[in-house]
Amino acid sequence: MVEVARKPIKLTRYDINEKIKELTKASILRFKEKDLKCVNVRGSNGSGKSTIPIKMLAEDKGAYILTDKGKDVATVLPNVGYALLGTYRNKTGGGDTSTFQDKEYTKEILKKLWVMPFNVLFESMTISASFTFWAQVFGEFSYDLAFTNRQIGVMSIIIPLEVNEQRIKKRNGGKDINMKYVAGKLRTVTNNVEKFTAIGVQSWAVDNTSVSLDEVYDWFHEQVNANMEGLG
């Protein structure tokens, strides 16, 4: 699998707070009737994290962007049924944009997405390297926002280091890369799989080496359905 090149996409923008009010007014927020989920996709450089939301975006012609204080903070795919942290219009997308350098702000936006009637997906290299902060966030959200009936899952993409290298070089035009750095990130992601399981979060590892780009969309949904309880 090779990562998909991002292209600028013109989408309608809505203020995130106004959109929440609109959905509430329309009586759409009936969480007990839904099996909502939040999936944190993790992986090292070149693992294919962002390929998943990019392929999801391509499936939904009704997609729109949510803004907060004038900044693009999320992409909603109403037909696919997902809200994505960040946007996927540039080379650096999702949670890796400058908007989400502050993890407390990232948490704030995720909390807003959490109370919307969509599944949530978020990914970034920075988040993939962090355990303690996100373990606390998951615990807090599960308790404070229990009315949303939302399950949490951590899907970690773990592939052979040589595959990481091949993908990164294909993406950056063959430039030299610090593979010790990549190997370190891979170890961190691998170690955190069991750490999340130990605190009660549905956490599993996957290898997408043999997954083609055309298969990514269905493959992701199959993974979620197979590894998260109560989800069809």
Taking only the tens place, the pLDDT of each residue in 141-152 is 888 777 677 899
- At 6, is the pLDDT very low, low, confident or very high (cuts 50, 70, 90)? very low
DSSP, residue by residue, 88-130:
-SSSS-GGGSGGGSSHHHHHHHHHHHHTSSSEEEEE-HHHHT-
Spatial strand order of the sheet with 71-77 comes to 13-15, 64-68, 71-77, 82-85, 119-123, 36-43, 150-157, 202-206
- At 232, is the pLDDT very low, low, confident or very high (cuts 50, 70, 90)? very low
Phi, psi for 156 (deg, rounded to 5): -105, 120
Phi, psi for 119 (deg, rounded to 5): -65, 155
Taking only the tens place, the pLDDT of each residue in 175-204 is 888 889 888 999 999 999 999 999 999 999
Domain assignments of the chain as residue spans, ordered by start: 13-226
Supply the pLDDT for residue 1.
44
- 13-226 to CATH, choices 3.30.70.1710, 3.30.1360.120, 3.40.50.300, 2.60.34.10: 3.40.50.300
pLDDT reading at 230 higher than 70: no
Supply the pLDDT for residue 189.
94
pLDDT reading at 217 higher than 90: yes
DSSP, residue by residue, 183-230:
HHHHHHHHHHHHHHHHTT-EEEEE--TT--GGGHHHHHHHHHHHHSTT
Taking only the tens place, the pLDDT of each residue in 58-94 is 999 999 999 999 999 999 999 999 999 999 877 668 8
* High-pLDDT (> 90) share of the chain, %: 60
Mean pLDDT of the chain: 87
- At 32, is the pLDDT very low, low, confident or very high (cuts 50, 70, 90)? low
